Amino acid sequence: MSMLTLNTYSAPPLSLGKPANVRTGLHRLFAAAVVSDQFRATLLSKPDEALANGYLGQTFLLTDQEKTLIKSIQAETLTDLAQKVNRALKSF
């Protein structure tokens, strides 16, 4: 069984009018939430803690705007969080 890690995962670029590398931190954040039940639960219930602690010892390079957005969204599922983040980023 192969294991997906943040170093090997390459998310498709978000087409938000910005270069793909600008959203790398968000890609890594969501990749960690997909592969780790524990990280996902923390991200949904305690986003401040999830962002501060990172995943597997690595923090996420997010803009202040992205951090504020992640911390402010109330979501019950990862899908819901992703949809709300996507909508909010499109409006910036």
Q: Which residue has the higher pLDDT, 17 or 76?
A: 76
Q: Can you say whether the dihedral through the CA atoms of 43, 6, 54, 15 is positive or negative?
A: negative
pLDDT of 59 above 90: yes
pLDDT on residue 9 = 43
What pLDDT does 22 receive? Answer: 57
- 13 has a pLDDT exceeding 60: no
- Report pLDDT for 11: 46
Q: How far apart are CA 44 and CA 51, in angstroms?
A: 11
pLDDT above 90 coverage of the chain, percent:
70
pTM exceeds 0.95: no
